[in-house]
Amino acid sequence: MPKIKSIIELKETISQQIKLRNENDKTVLTVSAGTCGRARGSLKVIESLNKVIKEKKLEGKIQVKNTGCHGFCEAEPNIIIRPQNIFYQHVQPEDAESIITETALNNKIIDKLIYSDPVTGQAMPQESDISFYAKQERIVMGDNALIDPTDINDYFAIRGYNSLGTVLKSMNPEDVIETIIASGIRGRGGAGFPTGSKWKFARNAKADIKYIICNADEGDPGAYMDRSLMEGNPHRVLEGMIIGAYAIGATEGYIYVRMEYPLALKNITIALEQARKLGLLGDAILGSEFNFDIHVFKGAGSFVSGEETSLMASIEGRRAQPRQRPPFPAQSGLWGKPTNINNVETWGNIPIIIDRGSDWFAGIGTESSKGTKIFSLVGKINNTGLVEVPMGITLREIIYDIGGGIPGDKEFKAVQTGGPSGGCIPKEKLDLPVDYESLAEAGSIMGSGGMIVMDEETCMVDVARYFLQFTREESCGKCVPCRIGTRQMVEILNRITRGEGRGSDIKKLEELAKTIKAGSLCGLGQTSPNPVLTTLRYFREEYEDHIYKKSCKALACKNLICYYIEPEKCIGCQLCKKSCPVDAIIGKRKEVHVIDHELCIKCGACFDVCPPKVRAVSKYTGEKKEKILKKASAGRVNK
């Protein structure tokens, strides 16, 4: 494709691609092939579909589209067949033949590939029927299912780069900033600072050179919406950045991608090359006087790099350590120049705001939080995946209506939002509307959008310990309260989960938390005690049980539980015996099996393999555990 030299040419290219798409009368098999789809074999499915199409010489009738993640990770690998809009889940390569001959050619639905609702059990062949999608408002994510992320023409066909054309043609930088301010959008990376105001600061800063940065160092464990956007729709992120650069007056940009995301790195690099080749990046973009280019920076494995001043230090080739603010990046950022830094999802919203207007955008959400937010709904939940919802929706709607509730007959316990800086929100707060303020009031934060659902088998002390261990590892070491304080907190929490907790421990945790919050420079340190503080606020009795009763009611803390084979239930099938990695299970075929507690390493393999109909392996804690162990050791002595 030759370089696009003017805005008129761009608009022509877009109309042409839209026309081509509309005229395409082929049946399109859209395969979700983001990182998790691939991990479950979607590339093999694509290969096998293409093979069948070639064998049957159907190239003129059927087309396979390799797209990024559609968000419904639970159902991977999944396919949408258009124009019928039939949705198939858990597709295997051997299903290719029947998908093509039965569904694509003859509109016949294959029952075994249909998704059925986890609550009602109802079969749902149409994509639009599926409850997972019904309450979502997929303005940012939705297009992932329409385009091949490595083909810029696909992006043009969904009006891609149209907003850039509009901006360059009819808006001056101040107009763009005013539009973004009026939309009310706030940063999607965690802190929720109003994006338009941030741009204005950077615009007003005087300097010979200015930078913009896309923060794609999505470090919060349990959050992966940014990965999915970069993998599935990289041009939208680029378009947002180009518009932002124009508004601020930046000539150079960086995308800082964490190294753990190889596919995102690959797709964003391909997109950059395409945009450069077509003249959407570089000198005199679309024949205007605006020059701008973007570099990709591959991170090197550090959580604190996600903090803006650390991220800039990392780009400069230094250790990712934060520094004091002010001066804010808008005044003195990368190499001391004014810099504007936004998160991937924020950049991804920009072209949409320009395209549909700030009033439309501001019409979605609540008074203080506008637009949608993408959450990664993971953990103990039926419909795991990425969900994009209007701000203000309640946690209950997300978890039950979209997420389909908790698997098995387990009870909901808490939902963790905001990653290591956030907190655990209990059952009583399920009707909380999700926006920046309400989550903060509940002791958590919006964060980048991780939403980890926990059931009765999740121990809240263990979860707090997990996060503190994480921040201890990731603390850059600059501020002593964070470096030493998190270490001390982990030691106390380790002690409690081992059953060696002391009466003074809870008070000590609270004191340390206060000191770390007050004495740390950056967000990582200041918020690191949040997981402990919220679990203490809502689940204090679990801490007390661990300390005083040596009991973990979630049956999760290894040192506080024991495994036990119920003699009246065991059928002697030997499954557990075979699975035990340390040969701690004794018993002949068709005879009751017994665990040798001296050898048992509590790996839980026996518990996992015991057939659900039998369920002979149980876990016990507290007094009951002591009784079992006592009895077992008495038995050994008698022998």
Partner 1 sequence: MQKILDEFGNSQKELIHVLHRVKAKFGYIPPETIPEISRHLKITESEIYGVLTFYSAFSLKPRGKHTVTVCMGTACHVRGGPKILEEFERRLNIEAGHTTEDKQFTLETVACLGCCAIGPVVVVDDDYYAQTTVSKVEPILEKYKKEKKNAQD
Take residue 600 and report the two structure tokens written for it: 């048992």
| Calculated CA dihedral for residues 405, 410, 413, 419, nearest 10 degrees | -60
Closer residue to partner 1 (CB): 279 or 419 = 419
CB of 574 to partner 1, least distance (A): 14
Strand partners, 278: none
Could you tell me the maximum CA-CA distance found in the chain, to the nearest angstrom? 92
Pick between residue 228 and residue 349 the one whose CB is nearest to partner 1.
228
Distance in angstroms (rounded) separating the CA atoms of residues 404 and 313: 43
Q: Which is nearer to partner 1, 76 or 388 (CB)?
A: 76
Nearest to 133 by CA among 85, 189, 193: 85
What is the closest distance, in whole angstroms, from the C-beta atom of residue 317 to partner 1 in the complex? 4
CB of 446 to partner 1, least distance (A): 16
CA-to-CA distance for 561 and 629, rounded, in angstroms? Answer: 10
Closest to partner 1 by CB, 3 or 318: 318
Q: Measured from the CB atom, is 56 or 483 closer to partner 1?
A: 483
Task: Tell the smallest beta-carbon distance from residue 75 to partner 1 (Å).
Answer: 9
CA 447/CA 192 separation, integer angstroms? 8
Give the CA dihedral 356, 72, 148, 52, nearest 10 degrees: -140
| Closest by CA position to 385, among listed 369, 367, 372, 398 | 398
Smallest gap, in angstroms, from Cβ of residue 15 to partner 1? 36
Alpha-carbon gap, residue 296 to 281, rounded angstroms = 14
User: HSE of 249 in the Cβ direction (CA atoms, 13 Å)?
Assistant: 17
Of 75 and 489, which has the nearer Cβ to partner 1?
Answer: 75
Residues found near partner 1 in the complex (CB under 8 A): 35-36, 38-40, 73-74, 76, 218-224, 227-228, 259-261, 297-303, 314-320, 376, 378-380, 384-385, 416, 419, 450, 452, 454, 458, 463, 466-467, 470, 473-474, 476, 579, 581, 601, 603-605, 608-609
- By DSSP bridging, strand 594-595 and strand 585-586 are antiparallel
Compute CA 94 distance to the chain's CA centroid, rounded to the nearest angstrom: 30
Using the minimum distance from each CB to partner 1, give the nearer residue, 183 or 305: 305
Cα–Cα dist 77/59, whole Å: 22
Q: How far is the CB of 516 from partner 1 (least distance, A)?
A: 20
- Nearer of residues 71 and 351 to partner 1, judged by Cβ: 71
Residue type, 575: L
**Distance of closest approach, residue 441 Cβ to partner 1, in angstroms:** 22
Closest approach, Cβ 232 to partner 1, in A, equals 13
Separation CA 396–CA 366 (nearest Å) = 17
